[in-house]
Amino acid sequence: MDPDRDGTVVTAHTAKLEKMVRIRLDYSRQSRTIRSIRITGDFFMHPEDAIEGLETGLRGAELERDALRQRISSALAGTRCFGFDAESLAGAILDAGGGAP
């Protein structure tokens, strides 16, 4: 893939408690921002529809660990997650985006 072009990648990551998290990431390589993201896997969230709010909340986020962690924590406030936390999910997203700056 041309490093100057935008990218869409799908990756799998083993997160907290050995749960699989799959990331489908569409992002701008130039600005290193997320255009869209889909998070699936064998984790659980309550309420269940919180994943949609998380994915929406990550649109436009910079692919940078602290920025992602903050957006994830904010989007998941009041949500119970089993299988990942903000740190492990940020790591999985950064892995999908080609690594952490």
Q: In this structure, which amino acid lies at residue 44?
A: F
Show the tokens assigned to 53. 């709010």
* 7-96 fold: Enolase-like; domain 1 (3.30.390)
pLDDT tier, 20 (very low <50, low <70, confident <90, very high otherwise): confident
Contacts of 35 (CB under 8 A, 6+ apart): 6, 26, 27, 28, 59
Q: Is the pLDDT of residue 23 over 50?
A: yes
pTM for this entry: 0.82
Residue 3: its pLDDT value, please?
44
On the question of pLDDT at 4 being above 50, the answer is: no
Q: Tell me the helix, strand and coil percentages in the chain, rounded to 5.
A: 35, 35, 35
* φ/ψ (deg, to 5) at 60: 90, -5
Question: Tell me, what's the pLDDT at 26?
Answer: 92
Listed by start position, the domains of the chain span 7-96
What pLDDT shows up at residue 45? Answer: 92
Q: How many angstroms separate the Cα of 5 from the Cα of each of 27, 42, 90? A: 10, 31, 23
pLDDT score of 17: 55
